[in-house]
Chains A and B, each alone.
Chain A
Amino acid sequence: KQEVTQIPAALSVPEGENLVLNCSFTDSAIYNLQWFRQDPGKGLTSLLLIQSSQREQTSGRLNASLDKSSGRSTLYIAASQPGDSATYLCAVIDNAGNMLTFGGGTRLMVKP
């Protein structure tokens, strides 16, 4: 059974810092990996999708990398802003199924 872990569970940084959020998964036979953002009391907003054949994806100040063989992904946020404060979730789709398996999330606070 696929298990997804995110470290750290919570992170507080001053505005302007570059930061890295980590995601690991136990079964490397994934189809793709998706990073989401969730604001309190809201649904999930898709940030980046990495297909299993890709190594990274970029969108603005966000860069996500995927090392499928080692079961790891990182989300890099450059020049963090208070508006980046949210919970960040990573999730994988296994080759065997179509549902997303989620990590527990990293709760990010960017202080002005």
Chain B
Amino acid sequence: GAGVSQSPSNKVTEKGKDVELRCDPISGHTALYWYRQSLGQGLEFLIYFQGNSAPDKSGLPSDRFSAERTGGSVSTLTIQRTQQEDSAVYLCASSPQSQGFYEQYFGPGTRLTVT
């Protein structure tokens, strides 16, 4: 079946602009995660959605970052007033989280470059 998809695959934006990154999880997966991979920082957790529960936003680096998940499926990560340090690969993952099975499946990522 189809895996996790993300769009766009690459995004170049000017400092100060807002960007939106999209994630389509695997159908039927109730959990959705956003991570960021940057040079020198490795892979960092950003935010986690599980069903209709309030999201875990503990990994968001600043209030310029926000995310939403509509209808328990597609998610959008928004970065406002982008800064050069926001340049990174943003990865989305989903998980079935059924019967304690927590394996996460990752999308190909969106490479964000802030100039």
Q: Which residues of A contact B (CB under 8 A)?
A: 31-32, 34, 36, 41-46, 49, 89, 91, 93, 97-105
Contact = CB atoms under 8 A, between A and B. Distances in A.
Secondary structure of the B side of the interface? Answer: strand
Contacts, number: 54
A100 B31 CA distance: 13
Secondary structure of the A side of the interface? Answer: strand
B110 to A, nearest CB: 10
B102 A93 contact: yes
Interface residues of B, number: 24
11 contacts: A32-B103, A43-B91, A43-B106, A43-B108, A44-B106, A46-B103, A46-B104, A98-B50, A99-B56, A102-B44, A103-B42
B56 A104 contact: no
B69 to A, nearest CB: 15
Contacts of B65: none
Nearest to B35: A100
Contacts of B50: 98
A98 B46 CA distance: 12
Contacts of B107: 43
Contacts of A97: 56
Contact of B108 (A42, A49, A89, A99): A42
A59 to B, nearest CB: 13
A34 B43 contact: no
Nearest to A48: B103
Nearest to B50: A98
B104 A100 contact: yes
Contacts of A91: 43
Interface string B36-73: 00000011110010100000100100000000000000
